[in-house]
Amino acid sequence: MTKLGRGLEALISTGPDTHDQTMGVSTLRISEIVPNKYQPRRIFDKEKLQELANSLKENGIIQPIIVTKRDDSLYELIAGERRLEASKLAGFKEVPVIVRSVTPKEQLQLAIIENVQREDLNAIEVANAYQQLNEEFHLTHVQISDIVGKDRATISNLIRLLKLSERIQQMILNNLLSSGHARAILRVDDNLQEEFAELIVRNKYSVRKTESEAKRIKEKGSVIAIKNPIIKNEFFIEQESKLAWKYNTKVSIQKNKKNGKIIIYFTEEDDLKRILNELE
């Protein structure tokens, strides 16, 4: 496995490209640090971010933020986005940093490693990052699995989540659906997926329940289960026709396994009075 594949700790060592030749760590003004354009994270938990900010106020920043030098005298973030954002909330003006010279591919890899190893990223954020490594940097699923320490099937399954509609992906980003729910949704036809997703959220289905429902939907071709299907035979159809002619209105005869009913339709109050007179 490459140095990148071993995680961020492989980068945090003293070397010739750090500001401080002795400690390997220096400080930068927060205003000098710009976001990593390859950062996969899209959503922050505000409550957890505030908790981290409170911790930083109390204990300081123990782990340096990793940055790379840009041509315009600014520094681009490589890893440590949560610490940087929490430092802003805590009111810090400067943060400890380690400066590294990295390629764009390494920037993305490191951002993924930091978040995935700590399980901080949402499934859709991870999927988008893996997709970017695959499409923009031409890495195979096997190569990605080596970098992040996940098996190839996990990589492929996560990337498949991007086939879901934007609406369902947003549900996952908002933590209304887990990756387990999402994989089950992918098993049903495209035109039923959003309705199925809404059913899962509305009823707070577990992943196991979602998987069993996906199997049912695949077999029946419908999201909503019909508990007592209506039975129609030639006799019922014939009687509907006779009653409709007699009362000059639409009539429906419905029966399930337990019981049956006759529905006589009317359009307005006078129509109802006419039908009631006929029934007397």
pLDDT per position as a tens digit, 12-71: 333 333 333 333 678 889 889 888 776 666 667 778 788 888 888 888 887 888 888 887
Catalytic-labelled residue, pool 81, 106, 213, 240? 81
d(CA 26, CA 66): 10
pLDDT per position as a tens digit, 211-240: 999 999 988 888 886 555 566 678 888 888
Q: Which of 4-18, 147-161, 180-194 is most confident?
A: 180-194
d(CA 114, CA 122): 13
Task: Show the domains of the chain with their CATH numbers.
Answer: 4-154 (3.90.1530.30), 164-220 (no CATH), 234-279 (no CATH)
d(CA 253, CA 256): 10
Question: What's this model's pTM, rounded to 2 decimal places?
Answer: 0.53
Q: What is the pLDDT of residue 143?
A: 87
Question: Coil, strand or helix: which one is 35?
Answer: coil
Mean pLDDT computed over 60-83: 83
Which burial class, exposed, middle or buried, applies to 188 when counting CB atoms under 10 A from its CB (0-12, 13-18, 19+)? Answer: buried
Any catalytic annotation for residue 195? Answer: no
What torsion do the CA atoms of 98, 104, 107, 109 make, to the nearest 10 degrees?
-150
